[in-house]
Chain A
Amino acid sequence: MADTDDLGLPSEIAARLPGPRDTLANFRALREFGADRTSTPFVCDVLREAERTGRPAVQPRCGVGGHPEMLELLRTLNEAGPAILSVTVDSHTRLRRFDVASTLLRTDPTGLNGYPLVAHGWQRVRELIRSVPVPLEVRHGSPDPRELFAVAMAAGITSFEGGGIGYNLPYSKDVSLGHSLRAWQRVDAVCGTLAEAGVMIDRELFGTLTAVLVPPSVSLAMTLLEGLAAVREGVRCLSVSYPQGGEIHQDVAALRAIRSLAARYLDEDVEVYPVLHEFMGVFPRTPEFAGLLILHGGLTARLGGATKVISKTVQEAYGIPDAAVNADGIRMTALGASEMLDFVRLDEDRIAEEQHWIEREVTEIVEPVLGAPDLFAGIEAGFGEGTLDIPFSASVHARSHIVPRRDRSGAIRYAECGGLPFSPAVRRRQAACLERSGAPGRTLLEAADADIHYFLEKENVFTTAHGNRGNR
């Protein structure tokens, strides 16, 4: 059975951790009422409850460098009624530059773009967990998160985001997939051990990838491969995230396909929760239009049956939001998912057709990998040959020969499938969807630019017609 000793941590990090018995006792104590009459649910408890009610749990991203400031941020955001809160980790810690993070924490904590969790240590993270009544998830972007994970577990964090593909290719230039997959395998194995001890850790897989024009079947294929790897190690609670593309039929179909694909490929005793990440691309600049997109995200999550939705803010176009605006994003997202919009009905035939094709595309991408004798070797070989691929990779270990485009409805399609092993039927359908789209005479660069700035262009049309307040 794997425990944190099996993570292969540097001794100076391992020496500062509490023992496995203390870690386990701390997890169990979370749900019990203490002398202060407070208890904290696990993230998986919150997800089960959201599933029961049919309203997605709302969660913001949030993380600042200093500890008092982080406590303050969590307390402020909690007033907006999120179901889960985040500890977003700074990029030095993501890249395992713990010394740099420690130094900045001492000298200039505002220079950190997140909470340096390893530098703060598990004792302070326990304080964060006790400061609010909702559970915390650690969000980061690390291809090798073993130290971060060990400290998070010692603290009692019950949800940990990432995977060997989704936290490697969009974030790192040259970390081999073999390395990241094996690092995450060890993380998943510890989660498996904890699950057997009755401590259910939610593992959220980052289907958002590079966040720019990600075709649904690319996102779902990558998280399915990561999910298979995680379940193999004993993970029993998976959150599978998908990035809002902006065309609601396609987004609803993708969220529903997460469930059907999980039912087909994963053990039935694994809990699988679809998660919508509100639009991660180039965001509108005016508060009105940005607010509309956020509301739209909440509605999309509810219609797609997402268990959870990660909220955005009207300051998205300008960088990391301040606490008040972040709290507004939680409220706006919750409103979009509320009964106020329960009258909205979509064209179910159109969704069913989209879902059929998404599932077929995912199957065509993953089946050759699943036929390989070894899953990780199959994944590495697939990326090497281009039969697995993602658009706009930051890493040299994916070819990025896929060219995504929006069709006339705004749905994200494949203009070029690269080396993906698609059948003629899938290729014909993709080509047909794009045939009716796009202004003629545009170069590839101009067309891609317009698709990336899709909501900005819509916003420009709107403000030309209606003016804008010119604020921000």
Chain B
Amino acid sequence: MNASPGARLVILGVAESDAHAVANHLIGMQLREQGFVVVNLGVCTPLSEFADALDLHPRAEAVLIGSLNGHAYQDLKGLPALRAAGRLGRPVIVGGNISVGSRKSSSDRRRLLDLGVDHILTDASRIVLLLDMLRATKVAEPQHG
């Protein structure tokens, strides 16, 4: 499980109001198994701490935020302000259960995307696929300066 210095790195954590630890640990293990270096900030992590972690680990490919208690929107409301300040400049992927109640409407997704969330996943087994796609897109983009 020891990753090489050039290994791919992601930042992982659970949204501020949410204490669900089990999925967080399982996703961390899955990513490490796939060779990723995982900076796991754990449960109850304020958005500003995700930004701090990205400042410390600028080579992170993405920021993965779990939210299972249905309060994703409230917990991520600070995203536009952080982005305006030039922070959290990586794909923000939110996963889990994005709103209260058993039926998810497209407006729940829309609200999160409007905040600047880049991707919403409800199936944790697709995280690696998404990360691979994001990397492929990025490599394909012309490099500036």
Question: Judging by beta carbons under 8 Å apart, are B33 and A444 in contact?
Answer: yes
Please name all residues of chain A whose beta carbon is closer than 8 Å to the beta carbon of B93 when the two chains form the complex. none
Question: Judging by beta carbons under 8 Å apart, are A400 and B26 in contact?
Answer: no
Question: Judging by beta carbons under 8 Å apart, are A393 and B125 in contact?
Answer: no
Please name all residues of chain B whose beta carbon is closer than 8 Å to the beta carbon of A449 when the two chains form the complex. 26
Report A140-183 residues with CB < 8 Å from chain B CB: 173
Complex partner residue of A403 from B21, B27, B29, B124, CB under 8 angstroms: B29
Instruction: Give A16 to B21 CA distance when docked, in angstroms.
Output: 38
Q: Count the A-B residue pairs with Cβ separation under 8 angstroms: how many?
A: 37
The answer to the question of B42 belonging to the interface, with a C-beta cut-off of 8 Å to chain A, is yes
Please name all residues of chain A whose beta carbon is closer than 8 Å to the beta carbon of B69 when the two chains form the complex. none
Instruction: Give A395 to B124 CA distance when docked, in angstroms.
Output: 22
What residues make up the interface of A, taking CB atoms closer than 8 Å to B? 173, 210, 212, 391-396, 400, 403, 443-446, 448-449, 452
Instruction: Give A395 to B41 CA distance when docked, in angstroms.
Output: 10
Q: Interface on chain B toward A: helix, strand, loop, or mixed SS?
A: helix
Interface core residue of B26, B27, B44 (most chain A CB under 10 Å): B26
Please name all residues of chain A whose beta carbon is closer than 8 Å to the beta carbon of B25 when the two chains form the complex. 391-393, 400
Q: A210-B21, A394-B21 are in contact. Are A445 and B42 (CB under 8 A)?
A: no
Question: Judging by beta carbons under 8 Å apart, are A444 and B43 in contact?
Answer: no
Please name all residues of chain B whose beta carbon is closer than 8 Å to the beta carbon of A448 when the two chains form the complex. 26
Instruction: Give A446 to B19 CA distance when docked, in angstroms.
Output: 21
Instruction: Give A444 to B30 CA distance when docked, in angstroms.
Output: 7
The answer to the question of B22 belonging to the interface, with a C-beta cut-off of 8 Å to chain A, is yes
In whole Å, how far is B141's beta carbon from the nearest beta carbon of chain A? Answer: 30
Report B23-50 residues with CB < 8 Å from chain A CB: 25-27, 29-30, 33, 42-44
Question: Judging by beta carbons under 8 Å apart, are A445 and B21 in contact?
Answer: no
Instruction: Give A446 to B43 CA distance when docked, in angstroms.
Output: 21
Complex partner residue of A393 from B21, B27, B44, CB under 8 angstroms: B21
Please name all residues of chain B whose beta carbon is closer than 8 Å to the beta carbon of A443 when the two chains form the complex. 30, 125
Question: Judging by beta carbons under 8 Å apart, are B26 and A444 in contact?
Answer: yes
Question: Judging by beta carbons under 8 Å apart, are B42 and A446 in contact?
Answer: no
Q: A394-B43, A443-B125, A445-B125 are in contact. Are A212 and B27 (CB under 8 A)?
A: no
Question: Judging by beta carbons under 8 Å apart, are A173 and B29 in contact?
Answer: no
Question: Judging by beta carbons under 8 Å apart, are B30 and A452 in contact?
Answer: no
Please name all residues of chain A whose beta carbon is closer than 8 Å to the beta carbon of B43 when the two chains form the complex. 173, 394
Question: Judging by beta carbons under 8 Å apart, are A445 and B44 in contact?
Answer: no
Q: A392-B22, A446-B125 are in contact. List 18 more A-B contacts (CB 8 A).
A: A173-B42, A173-B43, A210-B21, A210-B22, A391-B25, A392-B21, A393-B21, A394-B19, A394-B43, A400-B21, A403-B29, A443-B30, A444-B30, A445-B27, A445-B30, A448-B26, A449-B26, A452-B22
The 8 residue pairs across chains A and B that have the minimum distance between CB atoms? A394-B21, A392-B22, A173-B44, A445-B30, A392-B21, A392-B25, A400-B25, A394-B43
A-B contact pairs, 21 of them (CB 8 A): A173-B19, A391-B25, A392-B21, A392-B22, A392-B25, A393-B21, A393-B25, A394-B19, A394-B21, A394-B42, A395-B42, A400-B21, A400-B25, A403-B29, A444-B26, A444-B29, A445-B27, A445-B30, A445-B124, A445-B125, A448-B26
Instruction: Give A444 to B29 CA distance when docked, in angstroms.
Output: 8
Instruction: Give A392 to B19 CA distance when docked, in angstroms.
Output: 11
Q: Which residue of B lies closest to A211 (CB)?
A: B22
In whole Å, how far is B56's beta carbon from the nearest beta carbon of chain A? Answer: 15
Q: Which residue of A lies closest to B19 (CB)?
A: A394
In whole Å, how far is B79's beta carbon from the nearest beta carbon of chain A? Answer: 21
Question: Judging by beta carbons under 8 Å apart, are A212 and B22 in contact?
Answer: yes
Please name all residues of chain B whose beta carbon is closer than 8 Å to the beta carbon of A393 when the two chains form the complex. 21, 25
Instruction: Give A393 to B25 CA distance when docked, in angstroms.
Output: 8
Instruction: Give A400 to B40 CA distance when docked, in angstroms.
Output: 11
Please name all residues of chain B whose beta carbon is closer than 8 Å to the beta carbon of A395 when the two chains form the complex. 42
Instruction: Give A173 to B21 CA distance when docked, in angstroms.
Output: 10
Please name all residues of chain A whose beta carbon is closer than 8 Å to the beta carbon of B124 when the two chains form the complex. 445
Question: Judging by beta carbons under 8 Å apart, are B19 and A445 in contact?
Answer: no
Please name all residues of chain B whose beta carbon is closer than 8 Å to the beta carbon of A394 when the two chains form the complex. 19, 21, 42-43
In whole Å, how far is B93's beta carbon from the nearest beta carbon of chain A? Answer: 16
Instruction: Give A438 to B22 CA distance when docked, in angstroms.
Output: 20
Q: Which residue of A lies closest to B125 (CB)?
A: A445
In whole Å, how far is B12's beta carbon from the nearest beta carbon of chain A? Answer: 13
Instruction: Give A396 to B43 CA distance when docked, in angstroms.
Output: 9
Please name all residues of chain A whose beta carbon is closer than 8 Å to the beta carbon of B30 when the two chains form the complex. 443-445
In whole Å, how far is A403's beta carbon from the nearest beta carbon of chain B? Answer: 6
Q: Which residue of A lies closest to B21 (CB)?
A: A394
Instruction: Give A391 to B29 CA distance when docked, in angstroms.
Output: 12
Complex partner residue of B26 from A173, A210, A396, A445, CB under 8 angstroms: A445
Instruction: Give A288 to B48 CA distance when docked, in angstroms.
Output: 47
Question: Judging by beta carbons under 8 Å apart, are A396 and B42 in contact?
Answer: yes
Interface core residue of B22, B42, B124, B125 (most chain A CB under 10 Å): B22
In whole Å, how far is A101's beta carbon from the nearest beta carbon of chain B? Answer: 18
Please name all residues of chain B whose beta carbon is closer than 8 Å to the beta carbon of A210 when the two chains form the complex. 21-22
Instruction: Give A173 to B43 CA distance when docked, in angstroms.
Output: 7
One digit per residue, 1 when the CB lies within 8 angstroms of any chain A CB and 0 when it does not, for chain B 104-145 equals: 000000000000000000001100000000000000000000
Instruction: Give A446 to B25 CA distance when docked, in angstroms.
Output: 13
Q: Which residue of B lies closest to A395 (CB)?
A: B42
Instruction: Give A393 to B44 CA distance when docked, in angstroms.
Output: 13
Instruction: Give A394 to B21 CA distance when docked, in angstroms.
Output: 5
Interface core residue of B25, B33, B43, B124 (most chain A CB under 10 Å): B25
Q: Which residue of A lies closest to B123 (CB)?
A: A445
Q: Which residue of B lies closest to A210 (CB)?
A: B21
